[in-house]
Structure 1
Amino acid sequence: MKAVLLWIGLVTGITSFAQTPVAVNGALTIKGNKIVNKNGVPPQLRGISLSWSVWAGEKYYNPAVVDWLKKDFKISILRASMGVQPDHGYLQEPERQKKMIFDVVDEAIKQGVYVLIDWHDHNGHLHIPQSKAFFAEMAQKYSGVPNVIYEIWNEPERISWDTVKSYALQIIPEIRKYDKDNLIVVGSPSWDQDVDIAAANPVKGYQNIAYSFHYYATEPSHRDGLRAKADKAIKMGLPLIVTEWGVGEANGNGRFDIAMNKKWMDWVEKNRLSWVNWNITDKKETTAILQPGAPANGGWTAEQLTPAGAYIRQWLRVLNK
């Protein structure tokens, strides 16, 4: 009898391990100030962001990289950061950019991980017609697919919350024409830091709306004060997701301080927030995951990872068991 129970336990364990993040969690919804899974529990997704789909990170927008990140890094969420401008971004080459997004998103769906379709733009308020057309097309294609999350404006810069909210209230209806339920992520001023301001006057009239929160662990202004802003927003009822954070400073470089990173990681874990680390590129920067010249199709060795890459890979493999 004990042998039978042991066998059942082993089989159950194998089955559970084999299930994908989306199979385990299903469609994501908002419950109070949390993003929750099909069982009403915060899933705490953890993963990596591809870099701008222009410049150095462009070559990693392919199915092989998605597969490797799922297999080796054990990601449960991926962010596809479609560059809107300047060079060869969506404004100049929309069909090319959309194909890159389709390639990545379709493979993420196949692999059973969640995927953020990110309008990676600092000037979304200047590109409303283009954004509306893009998200309408995405919503028609991926309506009801539980993997897909729409991130409608990467990082508003020094822009008022009224402007960001107005933008959101023009883009959200375009998505909801075709996709009534999937999670939509709204940005906030000051590079997704002023979440407390958004919490005082949130978007209303639509279901399943979350808000992005960004930080860089060693950025001098990203310390206790920024955590306090996020704590205030959460207390006010705002559901947050960390759609971008880096181990260094906001410019991509700076120090890689383990203690500062750990302090942020402890805060994120305590609040059970899902997070996406910045970024898959081989550019010579502190926050880059890959060493210059790392292969474009995944399969990276330990020597091809930067210190940031090794650090993030280790965290993901521990936390996403």
Structure 2
Amino acid sequence: MNSKMTALLLALISAVAFIVVPAGQTVDSGIQTVTDSTEYTVSADNAEGTPTAENSDSNISTQAPAETTTAVQTTKPEGVAEETTAPVDEDLVNHTGATAEKTDAPMGTAVQQHGQLSVKGANIVDMHGENFQLKGMSTLGVAIYPEYISKECFAKFRDYGVNCIRLAMYTQGENNSYIGNEYQNKELVDKGVQYCTELGMYVIIDWHILSDGNPHQYKSQSMEFFDEMSAKYKDYPNVLYEICNEPNGCSWNDVKSYADAVIPVIRKNDPDSIVIVGTPTYSQDIHEAAKNPLTQENVVYAMHFYAASHQFLKDRMSEYYNKGMPILISEFGTCDYTGNGGNNLQETRAWLELCDKYDIGYINWNMSHRNESSACFYQGTSPEHWNESNLREGAKFVLDWIKNH
């Protein structure tokens, strides 16, 4: 390039700079930025930083001041996390504690019709103040049979009139229990909640203690778990929390002190959801809880029965319901207390008739193909493609009851 051409190019560059840059400003080697007065807030569900309400877009002029240039901000305010380019699994909700993106319940579904549930006297009521019965199925450990955390499977249960899925998450004692496998279990719980939400079904997040009979054994882990879950699902009207499945080998005072620690963690994030609290002796001793009840609102007490073993508990349930105690049968079986053995369908009928009389909800155990009487399915059943021929005797009886009542 000769000297004349070089001089001409330099002159053109100078002219462009003179036109673009306002008087009194200089050109530097980077992109010029302007400082705006918008304050940024950073929270778990707002990692990118958005304007505060005091400086919302409706109060900010879109007209740039005279003699200034409006440029793209090239750096984030201090403390705001950088964006990540890591791939996102669209089927999962993230586990950062952020509020999950809520899907509105489909028209005509239980959640769309009944909305947020609460406790009034001895009953669960819907958003209209009318008694509402949860009628559901429970998983057998979300990580033991993860294939049953399936939208298609849940939808087939919904076709029978099931309006609730209980996501039983073993804390210890079974393969892939929560302690030591936290991330896997949270993934499956999140999938289950999302599928139920998309289907307009209620869902119970169950801290499924069993072999760890005293809930205090993993109290700190429980508090962390329910803090994360309640922060994530605080805006979901279909989510309920069960904080201790079947306390055993401990007293009601042990359970109550545990509940008094865990419930405030949930209430801090989600003040309106129902919390289900287990009772001593594998959630049979509701009478012990009645002597010194919890003081928090929207709490129900869990009672469990297995029809071939626990006929005597019907009178107990009737007595304490009529005394004003809110009760949920958050687990029951048609067989004996081992989850196996012969079914007693006559006694199951008597239990379900009593529950229907009082509008007490009930959740059947269990959604799996384990080789036992309490399992819903015969072995080899596809979670997505089952039909009535795949159902064991007990499950068929319960689902027919729900469908016709």
Q: Same fold (TM over 0.5)?
A: yes
Q: Does 1:202 align with 2:298?
A: no
Supply the distance in 2 between the matched residues of 1:116 and 1:208 (Cα, whole angstroms): 14
Query: How far did 1:231 drift?
Result: 2.1
The equivalent residue for 2:330 is 243
The equivalent residue for 1:309 is 395
**Aligned AA for 1:25?**
H
The equivalent residue for 2:156 is 68
- Conserved 8 A contact 1:199-1:237: no
Q: Determine helix, strand or coil for the equivalent of 2:269.
A: coil
Paired residues, number: 296
- Conserved 8 A contact 2:143-2:184: no
Task: Give the number of the structure whose residues are more often helix, by fraction.
Answer: 1
**Aligned AA for 2:195?**
E
Structure 2 runs not aligned, ≥5 long? 1-105
Alignment of 1:283-294 (within 5 A): 283-294=370-381
Query: How far did 1:67 drift?
Result: 2.5
The TM-score normalised by the length of structure 2 is 0.71
The two structures, once aligned, show a CA RMSD in angstroms of 1.5
- Conserved 8 A contact 1:33-1:238: yes
Alignment of 1:1-321 (within 5 A): 19-55=108-144, 57-70=145-158, 72-86=159-173, 87-122=175-210, 123=212, 124-204=215-295, 206-219=296-309, 222-223=310-311, 225-296=312-383, 298-319=384-405
The equivalent residue for 2:61 is none
The TM-score normalised by the length of structure 1 is 0.89
Query: How far did 1:234 drift?
Result: 1.5
* Range moving further from structure 2, 189-198 or 58-67: 58-67
- Conserved 8 A contact 1:144-1:182: no
Deviation string for 1:245-264 (max 9, x for gaps)?
10101111122122111111
* More RCO (CA 8 Å, sep 6+): 1
Query: How far did 1:215 drift?
Result: 0.4
Supply the distance in 1 between the matched residues of 2:308 and 2:126 (Cα, whole angstroms): 32
Query: How far did 1:18 drift?
Result: 5.5
Structure 1 runs not aligned, ≥5 long? 1-16
Query: How far did 1:38 drift?
Result: 1.2
Supply the distance in 1 between the matched residues of 2:403 and 2:317 (Cα, whole angstroms): 26
Supply the distance in 1 between the matched residues of 2:321 and 2:402 (Cα, whole angstroms): 24
Supply the distance in 2 between the matched residues of 1:51 and 1:117 (Cα, whole angstroms): 13
Query: How far did 1:164 drift?
Result: 0.5
Q: Determine helix, strand or coil for the equivalent of 1:242.
A: strand
Supply the distance in 2 between the matched residues of 1:154 and 1:251 (Cα, whole angstroms): 16
Structure 1 residue ranges (4+ consecutive) displaced by more than 4 angstroms after TM superposition: none
Supply the distance in 1 between the matched residues of 2:385 and 2:395 (Cα, whole angstroms): 13
Query: How far did 1:237 drift?
Result: 1.9
Q: Determine helix, strand or coil for the equivalent of 1:105.
A: helix
Deviation string for 1:235-292 (max 9, x for gaps)?
3321011110101011111221221111111111111111111110101111110001
